[in-house]
C-alpha cells in the first residue's frame, strides 16, 4: 500500500531533522501534529541540498545538485518518488500548492554555493532570498494551511525571520565558511579584518529584522505560533552570544547555545505561550 510508503517517507524526513538540527526539531515538535510532518518534509529537502554543496567534496557536487533538483521537480509532477525525502516533499508541495518558483529560487542559491565567491550586495540579497526567505515562505504556506490571503498578509514577516536566521548562521559558521569553504557572504567586507563597526552593523540589521518578524509571529495561527516563537527565541539567544564575541573568536570557534540553556528558554517560552504573553 502506498500509504505505508508515504508514512515511511515522512518518518525519513523527520529523522533527517532530528539528526541535523536539534533546535529546529524542538521547534517542530511544538507545532500542531497536523502540520509537523509537512515541515519536516521541507527541512529534509533543504538539508539534503545543503549537504550536497557543503560536504560532498569528494564527488561531483554540480552534477549531484543538478540531478537532485531535476528529481525534485519530477517528483512534484508525478506526485511520487522512490526517494523518501523527495516523496514527502512532493506530497507537501502538492497538498498546500506551494509556489514552484520558491523551490526554483532555493536551488538557485544552492547553485551559488558550488564555487567560492565574494558576494556583491545584489548577490548577497539574492542568496538570502533563495536560501532562507523562500524556505520561510514554504513553511508559512503550511502554517496558514494554504490560505492565500493569510499567506500574503504574513509574507513580509516570514521573509524577515528567514533572513535574520540566515545572517546569524553566517556569523555562527564564519569559521567553517571562510576557512574551510572559502565563502565570504557579507558584501564588501574583509572577513579576516572585520571591524567592530562592521560586526555591529550586521547585528543591528538582524535586530531590526527580528523586530519585524516578531510582529508576524504573534499573528500566526495558534497551531504554529509557539513552535515558530521557540525557534525565534533560540536564535535571539544565539545572537546575544555572538554579540559578546570578537570577530577573531568567530573565526576560531562555532558559537552554540547549550542544551541546558535551551531547556530554560523552552520552559520560559512555554509559560509565556500558556498565559498568552508572547
Q: For the chain, list the domains and their CATH numbers.
A: 2-274 (1.10.600.10)
Q: What are phi and psi of 184, to 5 degrees?
A: -130, 100
Separation CA 160–CA 133 (nearest Å): 7
Angle separating helix axes 148-172 and 121-128, nearest 10 degrees: 120
C-alpha grid cell for residue 11? Answer: 518518518
CA distances from 22 to 16, 29, 150 (A): 10, 10, 29
Residue with cell 520561510: 136
What's the CA angle centered on 211, arms 207 and 212, to 5 degrees? 120
Write down the pLDDT at residue 56. Answer: 95
pTM of the model: 0.92
Q: Which residues of 143-164 are buried (b: 16+ CB within 10 A; e: fewer)?
A: bbbeeeebbeebbebbbbbbbb
Separation CA 44–CA 16 (nearest Å): 6
Angle separating helix axes 84-96 and 2-20, nearest 10 degrees: 100
Whether the Cβ atoms of residue 224 and residue 217 lie closer than 8 Å to each other = no
Q: How does DSSP classify residue 219?
A: T
Per-residue pLDDT of the chain (278 residues; tens, 9 = 90+): 789 999 999 999 999 999 998 878 888 999 999 999 999 999 999 999 999 999 999 999 999 999 999 999 999 999 999 999 999 999 999 999 999 999 999 999 999 999 877 788 899 999 999 999 999 999 999 999 999 999 999 999 999 999 999 999 999 988 887 777 777 888 887 887 888 899 999 999 999 999 999 999 999 999 999 999 999 999 999 999 999 998 888 888 888 888 888 788 778 787 776 767 67
Write down the pLDDT at residue 142. Answer: 98
Q: In 10 A of CB 102, how many CB atoms?
A: 18
Residue 2 class from Cβ within 10 Å (0-12 exposed, 13-18 middle, 19+ buried)?
exposed
Write down the pLDDT at residue 277. Answer: 67
Amino acid at each position: 500500500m502506498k500509504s505505508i510508503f508515504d508514512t515511511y517517507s515522512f518518518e525519513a524526513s523527520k529523522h533527517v531533522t532530528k539528526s541535523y538540527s536539534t533546535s529546529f526539531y524542538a521547534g517542530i515538535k511544538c507545532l500542531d501534529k497536523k502540520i509537523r510532518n509537512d515541515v519536516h518534509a521541507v527541512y529534509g529537502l533543504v538539508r539534503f541540498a545543503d549537504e550536497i554543496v557543503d560536504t560532498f567534496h569528494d564527488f561531483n557536487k554540480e552534477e549531484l545538485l543538478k540531478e537532485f533538483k531535476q528529481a525534485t521537480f519530477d517528483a512534484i509532477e508525478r506526485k511520487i518518488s522512490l526517494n523518501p525525502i523527495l516523496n514527502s516533499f512532493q506530497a507537501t508541495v502538492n497538498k498546500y500548492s506551494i509556489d514552484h518558483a520558491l523551490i526554483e529560487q532555493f536551488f538557485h542559491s544552492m547553485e551559488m554555493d558550488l564555487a567560492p565567491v565574494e558576494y556583491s550586495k545584489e548577490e548577497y540579497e539574492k542568496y538570502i532570498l533563495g536560501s532562507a526567505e523562500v524556505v520561510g515562505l514554504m513553511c508559512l504556506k503550511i502554517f496558514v494551511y494554504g490560505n492565500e490571503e493569510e499567506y500574503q498578509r504574513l509574507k513580509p514577516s516570514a521573509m524577515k525571520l528567514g533572513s535574520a536566521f540566515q545572517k546569524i548562521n553566517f556569523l555562527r559558521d564564519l569559521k567553517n565558511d571562510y576557512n574551510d569553504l572559502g565563502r565570504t557572504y557579507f558584501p564588501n567586507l574583509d572577513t579576516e579584518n572585520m571591524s567592530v563597526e562592521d560586526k555591529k552593523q550586521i547585528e543591528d540589521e538582524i535586530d531590526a529584522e527580528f523586530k519585524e518578524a516578531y510582529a508576524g509571529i504573534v499573528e500566526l495561527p495558534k497551531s504554529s505560533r509557539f513552535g515558530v516563537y521557540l525557534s525565534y527565541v533560540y536564535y535571539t539567544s544565539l545572537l546575544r552570544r555572538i554579540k559578546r564575541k570578537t570577530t577573531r573568536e568567530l573565526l576560531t570557534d562555532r558559537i552554540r547555545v547549550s542544551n541546558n540553556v535551551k531547556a530554560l528558554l523552552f520552559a520560559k517560552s512555554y509559560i509565556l505561550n500558556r498565559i498568552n504573553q508572547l
